[in-house]
Structure 1
Amino acid sequence: MPGTPDPGDTRGFRTAFLIFLAAVLVLIPLAVSRLLESRGLAGSLAVALLADVGVVLAARAYLDRRGKPAESEAVRPGGREYVVPRSLPPAPQVFVGREETVADLEARLREAGRVPLLVLHGAGGIGKTALALVIAHRLAGAHPDGQIYVQVGDFQTDGMSAEQIRHEIAGAYVYALKRPDDELPTATGGRIDFFHRRSAGRSLLILLDDVPADMDLAGLLPDRPGCTTIITSRRIPGGLPGAAVTYEPPPLAEDDSVKLLSTLLGADRVESDPADPDDLTAVAARRLADACGGQPLALRLAAAALSQRPHWDLRFAVEAILQRRPDPEQLDVSYMLLTAQERLALRSIGSIGKQAFTGWMLAAAASSPGEPVSEELADRLARAQFVERRGTRRDHASFYVEDEVLEYARRLAEREDGPQASSAREESVTRAREDRRGRDPALSVREQVYPLMRTGDLSAALATAQQALDLADEQGDGVAAGAACAALAEIFSELGDTLEAEEAAQRAIGTGHPGNTARALRCNGRIHRRLRELDKARAFLDEALGNAERAGDAGEQARVLFERAYVLSLQGDVTAARGDLDRADRLRTSGVIGAETMEPTALWYRGAVLYVEGRLGDSAEEFGRARASSRRLGQRLWEAWTEHVIAKVALATDRLDDAKEAAEAGLELFTAIRNRYGAAHCRYLLGQAHLVEGAVREAEIELWETAETFRACGDVWVERHARALARAAAAWARAEGHGPGAGAGEESVRELREEIARELGEAAEIFRASGDVWAEGLVARLLAAMTGPADG
């Protein structure tokens, strides 16, 4: 092709350049050498070194170019060998009583031979993991090729066999060390071979946490010099080389136990007042430490429970506990500090039969009124550190209980409730689990989630969709899980939670089901339309339409076409937008199940396209019909959004009272359904209305608050506009004499007016660039009024 350089010519040019570079780096030092020789400085060591450095640098540059990609290439997929893994969790912030042990074990590891191995073993709760993490972080700098952490106990929690656990450990190694273009070996043996090949010649630190006592680790440990392995386990596992350093952490000494309590609770609650000889707080602290048996877990749980009750006197708390439990177990102290409801919940957890649990499991075990109540109890146990909250989704969570706490809960249930009660709880959980297996999560999404959304009950829709996702995951139903994620994406986008929406959409797309993919892609299209990233929105919607057609879902095709029509109108393609609207209406009225429920949708989008075209009268008529339809069908969500756009049209046509009335009606609806994103849009319009009527202080407050809401929701496009108008309102307030500058001299007033003019000009430019003609005109009016006569 003309103008395209030949690859051979390019390589030749690079070679010639490198030769030239080498020559320069060699000849210049030699020339300097000749010059110095002429001045009697021949044989100078500096000159000889300079010449040698030139040769070395030239050679190094050439070899580096041949042996590795350029820096820009190194960051491309497939360009670098692997991203250096650094997966160690943070070291514990509070670490007491083991400092000398850490130094001793670190020294023993450094002397342990070619492939150091440390095994920390002992009872649960004694502090093995904390000790392992502290040592690992101290050794991390000596292992620059990566630090890999594997929580092996989680695999056992999931009910995996020993061989499955070996497979997962090897897989964790491979994922940490693979290049982007490597394929993951499927067989355990292939994964282990891959790990040993890839770890050869590298200095790695590996921490295997909570390894089952009967686990055979043969083949899963690095066997090359420079690598270090740390293992925690209840007992020393099999398959270890004979040179392993082993250590069983003992309980903390009494002084260290009290120090840990003091660090966690604060010295004022643990130490006696030196000025008060009758203050026995320190004695109570030692009794508490003794009751916890020097076990770090028991001490941390006791401190967590006491920290929830900051007004409790330590002496009375300890006295009350020991009166009820004269010979307590290590965890009894913290257990007795719980409320009666929390104690019942903890005992019930022992009947669930697994370390990971959700609200419905606890509800079945504890016979509580429902899942939300059980989640609240589990949250309270999490605050007391008996369990760990693992879920991150809003209004929903999963929980995890450490093995030693689970065993304690089982003993508690036997001791306090008897074997009959424990058996009844186990049967209740089994019945609930069987009942859930018979449910159809995809049906729940179709027949419950979307109707709840239309009626505006977004909280119930969110909870139902999340429960459907949990159920689909339990059943291993990937298609149903994708349907639940697509619904979650739509709910989150309605609520303005952009990141959560995109994450849920990505998981739905990952299932590969065309119907789920279409809904998720449509959701992404709407998100990017709101952000005014119109090309991205169009691409998502084009792909969504193809998936909806493959799924044979006429209703979803119509929804995609309505959204795409809006995007096309914003891009200025009015003809294509109208074509999509007509096609969507034909699909909607061609016998689609639930076609009537889409009527407000169709009217709203037609009104939106007319608004973008500038046909405000026609737009207002369509929005009025959409409002009547949504009210008739009880679709509060569409009714709220319709009130919002009716206010927008009224504002654009200078019908200020109508605009405020509709914006306030929308705000009331959005507030009732707890939709902060929609509420912020209505308040944004109210802020604009305040600007028009000259209530600049009210406008400024309203606009700044809405900008913060948009920022929290991730809608940077509207946030930028709200901030621009807020600055305009603030500038106008200052010009009116409500802010700094009032009563100033003539020169100060002139400077202030110039500054305000700049701020308003910048705001006007933002609106001009985005095509918001109305807002640009409003700022222009303010600017014209402000730049009039000084006494005007």
Structure 2
Amino acid sequence: MRSVNAAHSILFALPLGFPSASTLTYDFLSPVAAIVVGAFVARMIHTLIRRRRAAAPAMAVVPGGLDLASGSSRRQRIVPAELPPPPGLLAGRDRELDEMCDHLARPDRDGDALIVIHGEPGVGKTALAIRMAHLVSDQYPDGQLMLRFDSSDDQLTEDRLETFVRALRGPREVMPERADLGRWYRDWTRRRRVLVILDNVGDPDQIRPLLPAGPGCLTMVTARGAVPGFPGQFPVALEPLRDEAATALLDRLVGGDRIGAEPAEAKQIVAAAAGYPVAIQMAGAVLAVRKNWTLEIAVRRMRDMATDPQRKKVVAFSGILDLAFALLTLEEREALVLLGLTDRRRVERWMLAMLFNGAFADRTMPENVAGRFLDHLASARFVERRVDDHSGLLTFRVPVYVHAYAATHLGSHLTRPQQQRARRGLSEGRRRRNERNADDFLRRTVFAFLDRGELDAALNSARESLAFCRERAAALSSSDSGALALASEEGLTLAALAEVNAELGWIDEAMTYAEDAGKRGSQSPRTLSRALRVSGSLRRRLRQLPQAEADLLAAERSVRNADDRDEHIRVLSELTALQAPLKDLEAATQYLDQARRLCAGAGPSGVRQLPAVLLAYAQVLRECGELAAAATTLAEAELLTGDPDGLQRLRRPWIRLYRALTLLDLGKYDQSREFSSAALEGFTTLRHRYGSGWARLALGRAHLADGNLNGAAPELEECHGTFRRCGDRWIEAESATWLAVAYHRAGRGQEAVDLLSAAEQAFSKLGDEQGVRRAGRLLFEVESSLPAQPLRPLPGVREWLAAVGRQPTDPAGTRAGI
């Protein structure tokens, strides 16, 4: 506090974070008046500060709550941290780790650091690089990136650079043109500290454009051989483990005293592994799950399977592979042997299915079953699980040594004609995939799965389609005649991915996909209309109404040029739903009539889409206060979802949810709870967490309206926890508001204040003025009801009170007395 005139005035300095930088003064009238007025002003200031606290807690002060950038409705840019988890066990590599750490700590080291770890496949290069990266990751706060190469990979350098740029750029930064990717990457990394791992590099020229430009960056490269042409690199030649380290690793993997009890057999297993960590881990995995086995049994199994002496020449640790192979089922062995016919290390479900169905004419393997077989082989350490950087699709990688090992079993498991048919089946599968129409594929898979509520299948199909589009794009240049058509197909796939992510509640991801779809398909009315529709729907859910209206009107103009009746119905349905927050019943009725006419002329597809149109119109009726009409419309919509083929499984619980909300508005709490529970059951059956959160919110509100706090609080807490883990900030703030009401009524006022403060801030950043007013009004009511706290004099007041002869503990200075 600063004193302007201690005899006549007191200057109160507002705490940091108060919205105004001005100060309050009042003229000195008398010591008693000064105390009373000062206490009153202090209380006002305290209340305002609590309302405008500069650092409002995250939603409910719970980990995973809202974390918004100032002035932005989207989450802050996340620093990319793409390192896999560190390897659980890394034996015998302390010397290499110490040498690399010493190299990085050298004061005379100039420029950026480049470490090259080279050695034979299976020797543990990647594990060592990842462990080292975790040891030093805190020294590279601007990002940790990892890119895996494949000998059969035909990705262009621009594709790999695009992967890095997408990870590094902010959520609102414009993606640079492909020709500018290298310059953007060098400029971005020049003044930052970034760690990059380039795994399994074959050609040194592949990595040169991917090296960060900053002197404070670190690049680690793993390769089979040395990587020449990079002065200043620190090479690490990795050799197989010594017997002592290999035995210690096997002992830690197997557990118990099994290694010590049979040292001779343990020595034979270690010798069969030839010091390769991957072989030791495979043997350890086999023995760990078969605790009733002695090591002597494992050794005997290896000998029984070692029928081909040529395998030892192909793979140094073929004995361990024999042991793991012996424990596979017959069909799993057949699947592994078929992988020896592939010409690529990366394998997807459809590839194994095509190989199997070609080889065995009397048996059929669907793609989902092929996926399960690949997953079993991954658990047995024969293949590695990978996630595609661009699409998020789960794929599998066949290591070089496994591919060579599988090829040695071809003659004993498949006849020559079967091998030929399997290769033809794979080639035919590739040809059909190359000729398929993306729009037809999306309709048959992604959207059909969505209608049936098979969300995982819809997401995986969309990811598979995106990976396929980008695989084809990598083989084309921008000047090729098919590039424009392929860009349109990729845009359609991105729009489908956006739609699936939106259904799952992952709003940020959905918005990013929708924006990318609009860019890729800007020349195609069909693609552009879908991208704009999804974008408009997302903005409507976030209450960004002007932007939502602009997107949806543009989508409607675009779809008229696309000759796509089904998409036109979807656009009109979204335009109808948009009128709910706008409370424009007349416009909604016009859109409804247009959509009904299109549905009537669209045959079975129009009948399937009509419930969604009616649901959108019922939302408008409810917001406009026409509750009886809304209830009738929703009942009609639910009748139309009784599809025996299950094509309305996703739509039905959403309709029941809005029936519950309408009944809640009508004051019919018992019926509202009944429909909320039915919606919750439907969403739970579909494993739809986002939809379940909405149903729990409606159920909690019904309990709250009926005065049942014990029933309301658990449901509202559960739904708020669900929404915190999704990406829909509006519904997260909305659930926080209702949970705060329940907490306030239960006497948990401070928790309610924390929730409402964060909700008010979230509504403000989303631009929802109605939400801001509602949360602010509730916050004022809750704060006004909190018990008063004793007023502590500001610095300097105690001395002034003593100077005028007053006791600083005067009861008149308490908030309770004001």
Report the TM-score range of the alignment, normalised by the length of the smaller protein.
0.5 to 0.7
Cα gap change, 1:84/1:374 in structure 2, threshold over 3 Å: closer, same or farther?
closer
Superposition map of 1:425-436 within 5 A: 425-436=422-433
Q: Which residue of 2 aligns with 1:324?
A: 304
Cα gap change, 1:662/1:91 in structure 2, threshold over 3 Å: closer, same or farther?
closer
CA distance in 2, matches of 1:459, 1:185: 32
Q: Which residue of 2 aligns with 1:69?
A: none
Q: Determine if the alignment matches structure 1 residue 353 to structure 2 residue 349.
A: no
Q: Which amino acid aligns with 1:157?
A: S
Q: Determine if the alignment matches structure 1 residue 100 to structure 2 residue 95.
A: yes
Contact 2:515–2:535, Cα closer than 8 Å, also in 1: no
Cα gap change, 1:147/1:364 in structure 2, threshold over 3 Å: closer, same or farther?
closer
CA distance in 2, matches of 1:571, 1:600: 22
Q: Which residue of 1 aligns with 2:48?
A: none
CA distance in 1, matches of 2:233, 2:445: 58
In the alignment, which of 429, 443, 464 is matched to residue 440 of structure 2? 443
Cα drift, residue 537 of structure 1: 3.4
Q: Determine if the alignment matches structure 1 residue 623 to structure 2 residue 634.
A: yes
In the alignment, which of 533, 541, 553 is matched to residue 530 of structure 1? 541
Q: Determine if the alignment matches structure 1 residue 336 to structure 2 residue 323.
A: yes
Q: SS of the residue aligned with 1:551?
A: coil
CA distance in 2, matches of 1:650, 1:178: 46
Q: Which segment drifts farther, 202-211 or 354-363?
A: 202-211
CA distance in 2, matches of 1:670, 1:178: 35
Q: Which residue of 2 aligns with 1:79?
A: none
Cα gap change, 1:599/1:120 in structure 2, threshold over 3 Å: closer, same or farther?
closer
In the alignment, which of 645, 659, 663 is matched to residue 646 of structure 1? 659
Q: Determine if the alignment matches structure 1 residue 234 to structure 2 residue 224.
A: yes
Q: Which amino acid aligns with 2:279?
A: A
Q: Which residue of 2 aligns with 1:210?
A: 200
Contact 1:284–1:314, Cα closer than 8 Å, also in 2: no
Q: Which residue of 2 aligns with 1:311?
A: 291
Q: Which residue of 2 aligns with 1:492?
A: 501
Q: Which residue of 2 aligns with 1:399?
A: 396
Cα gap change, 1:582/1:693 in structure 2, threshold over 3 Å: closer, same or farther?
same
Count how many residue pairs are aligned between Structure 1 and Structure 2: 662
CA distance in 1, matches of 2:669, 2:79: 60
Cα drift, residue 172 of structure 1: 9.0
In the alignment, which of 580, 595, 613 is matched to residue 569 of structure 1? 580
Cα drift, residue 349 of structure 1: 1.6
Q: Give aligned-pair identity as a percent.
A: 30
CA distance in 2, matches of 1:147, 1:478: 30
Cα drift, residue 293 of structure 1: 0.4
In the alignment, which of 378, 381, 384 is matched to residue 377 of structure 2? 381
Q: Deviations over 1:588-637 (max 9, x none)?
A: 66779944443323322222111111121222222233233444796344
Q: Determine if the alignment matches structure 1 residue 158 to structure 2 residue 153.
A: yes
Q: SS of the residue aligned with 2:580?
A: helix
Q: Which amino acid aligns with 1:529?
A: R
Q: Determine if the alignment matches structure 1 residue 602 to structure 2 residue 613.
A: yes
Q: Which amino acid aligns with 2:613?
A: A
Cα gap change, 1:181/1:371 in structure 2, threshold over 3 Å: closer, same or farther?
closer
Q: Which segment drifts farther, 226-235 or 641-650?
A: 226-235
Q: Determine if the alignment matches structure 1 residue 301 to structure 2 residue 282.
A: yes
Cα gap change, 1:386/1:509 in structure 2, threshold over 3 Å: closer, same or farther?
farther
Cα drift, residue 253 of structure 1: 0.7
Cα drift, residue 353 of structure 1: 1.7
Q: Which segment drifts farther, 140-149 or 699-708?
A: 140-149
Cα drift, residue 442 of structure 1: 1.8
Cα drift, residue 295 of structure 1: 1.0
Q: Which amino acid aligns with 1:321?
A: R
Q: SS of the residue aligned with 1:399?
A: strand
Cα drift, residue 398 of structure 1: 1.5
Q: SS of the residue aligned with 1:390?
A: strand
Q: Determine if the alignment matches structure 1 residue 706 to structure 2 residue 719.
A: yes
Cα gap change, 1:471/1:227 in structure 2, threshold over 3 Å: closer, same or farther?
closer
Q: Which amino acid aligns with 2:301?
A: I
In the alignment, which of 615, 625, 629 is matched to residue 614 of structure 1? 625
CA distance in 2, matches of 1:200, 1:374: 45
Cα drift, residue 447 of structure 1: 4.9
Cα drift, residue 270 of structure 1: 5.5
Q: SS of the residue aligned with 2:347?
A: strand
Cα drift, residue 258 of structure 1: 1.6
Q: Which has the larger radius of gyration?
A: 1
Q: Deviations over 1:425-464 (max 9, x none)?
A: 3333223323433433321323554355445555655555
Q: Which residue of 2 aligns with 1:480?
A: 489
Q: Deviations over 1:186-226 (max 9, x none)?
A: 59xx97x9999999999999865433379799999999999
Contact 1:359–1:372, Cα closer than 8 Å, also in 2: yes
Say what the alpha-carbon RMSD is for the aligned residues.
5.4
Q: Deviations over 1:256-277 (max 9, x none)?
A: 11222344x26536653xxxxx
Cα gap change, 1:500/1:399 in structure 2, threshold over 3 Å: closer, same or farther?
farther
Contact 1:292–1:298, Cα closer than 8 Å, also in 2: yes
CA distance in 2, matches of 1:696, 1:482: 48
In the alignment, which of 689, 701, 713 is matched to residue 688 of structure 1? 701
Q: SS of the residue aligned with 2:725?
A: helix
Contact 1:554–1:592, Cα closer than 8 Å, also in 2: no
Structure (1/2) with the larger helix percentage = 1
Q: Which residue of 2 aligns with 1:390?
A: 386
Cα drift, residue 119 of structure 1: 5.6
Q: SS of the residue aligned with 1:250?
A: coil
TM-score norm. by structure 1 comes to: 0.67
Where structure 1 has 5 or more consecutive residues not aligned to the other structure, the ranges are 1-74, 76-82, 273-278, 735-751, 785-792
Q: Deviations over 1:694-727 (max 9, x none)?
A: 5443333333333333333333433444455456
Higher relative contact order by CA 8 Å / sep ≥ 6: 1 or 2?
A: 2
Contact 2:347–2:396, Cα closer than 8 Å, also in 1: yes
Cα drift, residue 146 of structure 1: 9.9
Q: Which segment drifts farther, 602-611 or 451-460?
A: 451-460
Superposition map of 1:709-788 within 5 A: 709-726=722-739, 728-729=741-742, 770=771
Cα gap change, 1:507/1:401 in structure 2, threshold over 3 Å: closer, same or farther?
farther
CA distance in 2, matches of 1:677, 1:224: 42
Q: Determine if the alignment matches structure 1 residue 659 to structure 2 residue 672.
A: yes
Cα drift, residue 238 of structure 1: 6.2
Superposition map of 1:179-190 within 5 A: 186=179
Contact 2:269–2:299, Cα closer than 8 Å, also in 1: no
Cα gap change, 1:593/1:219 in structure 2, threshold over 3 Å: closer, same or farther?
closer
Cα drift, residue 254 of structure 1: 0.5
Cα drift, residue 285 of structure 1: 3.4
Q: Determine if the alignment matches structure 1 residue 256 to structure 2 residue 245.
A: yes
Q: Which residue of 2 aligns with 1:516?
A: 527
Q: Which residue of 1 aligns with 2:272?
A: 291
